[in-house]
Amino acid sequence: MDTPLREPTFLILTALAREPMHGYAIIGEVAALSDGRLSLRPGTLYGALDRLTDAGLVELDREETVDGRLRRYYRLSPTGDATLAAETERLRRNVEAATARLRARSVQPLAPRTAGGLA
Amino acid sequence: MDTPLREPTFLILTALAREPMHGYAIIGEVAALSDGRLSLRPGTLYGALDRLTDAGLVELDREETVDGRLRRYYRLSPTGDATLAAETERLRRNVEAATARLRARSVQPLAPRTAGGLA
DNA sequence: GCTGAATATATCGGACGCGAAGATATTGCG
DNA sequence: CGCAATATCTTCGCGTCCGATATATTCAGC
């Protein structure tokens, strides 16, 4: 898993970091995590869970049946935990780099050539 | 451009935030920005530049010919600047959310049931 | 003077994650 | 009884990315 995680995958792992959850609950948790910016579609969620399970980042925790409806709980594996931590660090560095660049530009938007200061 | 930027695209915009650069120089700049973690391939770079140009996030700044080799400089457009700032904020929130979740798990890895404290 | 590495651009095909849409089944509300 | 909400799963197409390849020029080494 050298490839960087995309946002939906990253937030799914984040949602599972605290405690095991079932798929449908993850949709709501990710929406909350992202302040409603990202609403996961079933295709994205279950596809991602299958991929993450195959990759060994999440594991099936348990299955419950509540009111006749199946709930399949997933949990973060140790590998998934480490991956999420590493990904978070990677993002943190990217954020820092971009912030520094944006600030640098803000300080000196354009070289003051046309304003006719001296010369 | 509602879709979140992928990492290569994000770092290309970051590289351009400070000053206009030509394609080949961006490859080195992105490598430096990511501490060598991400080495852009030509296919990724020029494809991304075309897409970003079409989307209005970057603009052709100027063309130079140095030692018979063409250099095509790109610069961040105001839209690209705003997009990069917004994306950085989005990432910052994701990093914060993940960090909080990882910390929460670290404080209480498992419910202390088996350790037999009291009871 | 030729070869190969570095500079600098471009293009094509495959892989893969994501999103839209719809199917299925159950409970609860009006 | 029909409709919304809960909860799962599947199929299809798109966009992005990467690997590979091509082209052209300069410079270093032999």
Q: Which domains does chain B have, with CATH numbers?
A: 7-102 (1.10.10.10)
Q: What is the mean pLDDT of residues B17-42?
A: 92
Judged against a pLDDT cut of 90, whether residue A104 lies above it is answered with no
Separation CA B94–CA A56 (nearest Å): 22
Judged against a pLDDT cut of 80, whether residue B111 lies above it is answered with no
Give contacts of B88 with chain A, Cβ < 8 Å. Answer: 95, 98-99, 102
Question: Contact at 8 Å (CB) between B31 and B38?
Answer: yes
| Spatial distance from the CA of A79 to the C1' of C12 (Å) | 36
Q: What's the confidence (pLDDT) of residue B36?
A: 85
Q: Do A90 and B14 touch (CB under 8 A)?
A: no
Contacts of B29 (CB under 8 A, 6+ apart): B15, B21
Bridge partners (DSSP) of residue A69 are A66
Least confident range from A74-83, B32-41, B57-66: namely B32-41
Q: Give me the residue label for tokens 């052709």.
A: B60
CA distances from A111 to A69, B12, B57, B71, B72 (A): 64, 22, 21, 21, 20
User: Could you count the other beta carbons within 10 Å of the beta carbon of residue A62?
Assistant: 11
Q: What is the mean pLDDT of residues B15-37?
A: 93
Measure A17 CA to nearest chain B CA, in Å: 6
Instruction: Please tell me the number of Cα atoms within 13 Å of A66 on its side-chain side.
Output: 7
Question: Contact at 8 Å (CB) between A33 and A11?
Answer: yes
Q: What is the mean pLDDT of residues B64-70?
A: 88
Return the SS3 of A68.
Answer: coil
Q: What's the confidence (pLDDT) of residue A111?
A: 52
Q: Which residues of chain B are at the A interface, by a Cβ-Cβ cutoff of 8 Å?
A: 4, 6-7, 10-11, 13-15, 17-18, 33-35, 37, 76, 81, 84-85, 87-88, 90-95, 97-99, 101-102, 104-105
